Every structure is written in C-alpha cells, then in structure tokens.
Amino acid sequence: MSIADRLQRQHLRDLTPYASARRSMSGGAVWLNANEAPLTPSQPPDGAQANRYPAFQSSTLNQAYASYAGVSEEQLLSCRGSDEAIDLLIRTFCEPGQDRVMICPPTYGMYAISAQTHGAGVTEVPLIARGRNLQLDLAAIYSQLDQVKLIFICSPSNPLGNELATDDLENLLEQVGERALVVVDQAYIEFAATGQPDKLNQLTGWLARYPQLVILRTLSKAFGLAAIRCGFALAGRDIIQCLRKVIAPYPLPQSTLDYATGALQPEAISAMHAMLTTVTEQRQRLLTALTHRQWVKRIWPSTTNFVLLSVTDAAALVASCAEQGVLIRNQSQQLNLSNSVRISIGSSQEMDQLLEALPA
C-alpha cells in the first residue's frame, strides 16, 4: 500500500470521482455530451467562444509546467493557485476532528486557516533562531508528530523572506518517513534561484526518492500572473491520483489555461528572468536606502520579492504610508514578529514613491 493510500481519508479509498464530460471523453469534432450551448450568444471581448467547458486537467499546460519543473506530467496537478492545493491536501488526507496538520510559524496563514475550515487540528512548532535567520526546529517536530498527516513548510519563507536549510528539509523527510506528508511551499522559488539555476528544481528532483514529499508552486509571483489563479501540486503519482478525486470537475477556466500556457513558452520565461533581475536590483536599492534609518531595528535577510523589517512602531508606519497612498503589510500579528512590516518590491517608480513616503 502506498503512502497516499494509507494516509488518505478512509471514505476516499473507494470513492469514484465525478466523471465530467471532459474528464471521461476527449477528441471528436461534434461535442454533444456536456449539455453545453452550441455557441456563445454574447461575444466575449477577445472573440473566443465560451460555450465549452475547459479541460479537467489541460495536458498542454501540465506538460509545459512539468517540463519547466523537471517532473513528469503524472506528477503534477494544476489548480486555482497553490491556495487550492493546500485546501485539497487537507480535504484529501485529514479526517475532521481526528487528524492534524503541522505548521512552523511565523509562516503563511492559509495552512492553519484551511485546516480549521475543514475541522483538522493544528500543531505549531515555531521556527528557531540560527544565525541571522529562523530555521526549523527538527527535534521539536519529531516529538510532536502524533495524529499529524501534513507538515507544511514554507521555503522561501513568507513572511521572513529567507530559505530554510536544504539539509534540514532532507533530514525532515528522512525522519518523518511515511508517517506524514511533507508539503514544501515554493511560491517564491524563482526569486531564490536567481543567479543559481540549479536551485530551481533541486527539490523536484527529490520526488523519486521521497514518496512523502509534496511541492507547491504558483504562477502568481515571479510569473506576475496573480489575477489568473494558477498553481500546481507536484508529488508522486499516487498522491496526485488522490487529489484528482477531490478537485472540482473544471478547476481552471479556459482563459487561465491559455494565459498560463503562454507564460511557460521559452520567450515568456526569458522575460520572467529579466524581471527577476530587475526585482533583485530594486530590492538591493531598498535595503541600501534603509540601512541607517533609526526607525529600522532589523532588516531580515531576503531571497524573495519582499523585505521584512522590524521597526519601532509598525502600526504608525503602515498608517503613515497609507496616508501617502503607499500600502505596506503589517506582520506584527505573526509569532515573534512584533512591530514588523513586510514591503513588496515594486517597479522603479513605485519604489521611488515608497522611499518618499518612508520616514527619513
């Protein structure tokens, strides 16, 4: 029995998922199997016909992203942003009122919110100080695995901005074994891999060795496509098959499929890399400008498109910037991050406006 079969919710083991028209049949020239209208009476702005349901899983999109991520198509599920992938994992593997997820705060808030929404418990194992960064507390993780089905790890970290140690991730996978799935959220991996291309798919190369590993990716960050809501879960075939039971019949609209596929073409990927270079330059510009400002108590190391700052008064800083039309994020509610703000890296003009709004 695979780890996916053993860990998935009991009632899903014998579940036959809904066989939508696009999922059960493909090809053909005359589509009369999905109760669709024969045409779209009101013409969409781009001239496309919108009367047909999109693919359940677009092979064109999935092949394109699989090639980009260095995996096979059967190791991939496309979904409505990585937020949906988080939700699908919890719905698939956590029995309400019985199983738990583990998070390592400060971290992305949706892991706990999705768990609570579906009645799963949340075990918190805070990150611990190591050098200039916060890193995994492996000993504490190993001691608190009772009833845990999913361990969510955000690396590069949101809201911190740093990467978690690769050796720690590998040790975690080795020690957890098949007791739980280890879900590594790599929403910001392209930024961390700037100038280090081997880093982009280092973890995806581990999928063959670690059947308990799940990797989350998105087009919302480096690809600049937050509005189209496209993300991916990368995992072993057995885990992907379990998630396919739970995902909606038509998870992504055709416009998203088309836009996302276009973003994965060679010329578009080259343009994305050029943008990453610009973001890195603007991030360094911000860091240099903030180095000697008295209200900045700490600048957290960042490999992402944002910078976390510890400041004297986060609420006042956020309010002052907002009055000048510049919005930054108060992160003071995060564990051990009192009086902290997160600033995203924008265009050169946006960074000009930010620097004008920030106190001298």
Instruction: Please check whether residue 69 is in contact with residue 201, taking contact to mean a CB–CB distance below 8 angstroms.
Output: yes
State the residue for tokens 């019985």. Answer: 98
d(CA 112, CA 128): 19
**Within 13 Å, how many C-alpha atoms sit on residue 125's CB side?**
20
- How would you write 80-131 as a 3-class SS string? CHHHHHHHHHHHHHCCCCCCEEEECCCCCCHHHHHHHHCCCEEEECCCEEEC
Which tens digits make up the pLDDT trace of 179-202?
999 999 999 999 999 989 999 999
* Structure tokens given for 73: 């198509």
Domain boundaries, the chain: 3-264, 268-357
For 98, the 3-state DSSP assignment is coil
| CA proximity to 348, closest of 356, 340, 336 | 356
CATH architecture of the domain covering 268-357: Alpha-Beta Complex (3.90)
Strand order across the beta sheet in which 340-344 lies: 296-299, 306-311, 340-344, 329-330
pLDDT at residue 92, rounded to an integer: 97
pLDDT at residue 14, rounded to an integer: 81
Say if 3-264 and 268-357 have the same CATH topology: no
pLDDT at residue 357, rounded to an integer: 95
Cβ neighbour number for residue 82 with a 10 Å cutoff: 26
- DSSP-assigned beta bridge partners for residue 310: 298, 340
d(CA 195, CA 66): 22
CATH architecture of the domain covering 3-264: 3-Layer(aba) Sandwich (3.40)
* Structure tokens given for 43: 């013409």
Instruction: Please check whether residue 55 is in contact with residue 249, taking contact to mean a CB–CB distance below 8 angstroms.
Output: no
Segments in the chain below pLDDT 70: 30, 32-35, 37-45, 47
d(CA 70, CA 84): 22
Instruction: Please check whether residue 151 is in contact with residue 181, taking contact to mean a CB–CB distance below 8 angstroms.
Output: yes
pLDDT at residue 54, rounded to an integer: 93
d(CA 107, CA 51): 41
pLDDT at residue 30, rounded to an integer: 67
Q: What is the pTM of this model?
A: 0.93
| CA proximity to 69, closest of 244, 279, 219 | 219
Cβ neighbour number for residue 9 with a 10 Å cutoff: 20
pLDDT at residue 39, rounded to an integer: 66
pLDDT at residue 25, rounded to an integer: 75
d(CA 245, CA 16): 7
Tell me how far apart the terminal alpha carbons of the chain are, to the nearest angstrom: 62
Give, for 277, the enclosing helix (H) or strand (E).
helix 266-290
d(CA 231, CA 92): 18
- Contacts (Cβ under 8 Å, ≥6 apart) of 3: 178, 181, 211, 212, 236, 238, 239
d(CA 261, CA 265): 7
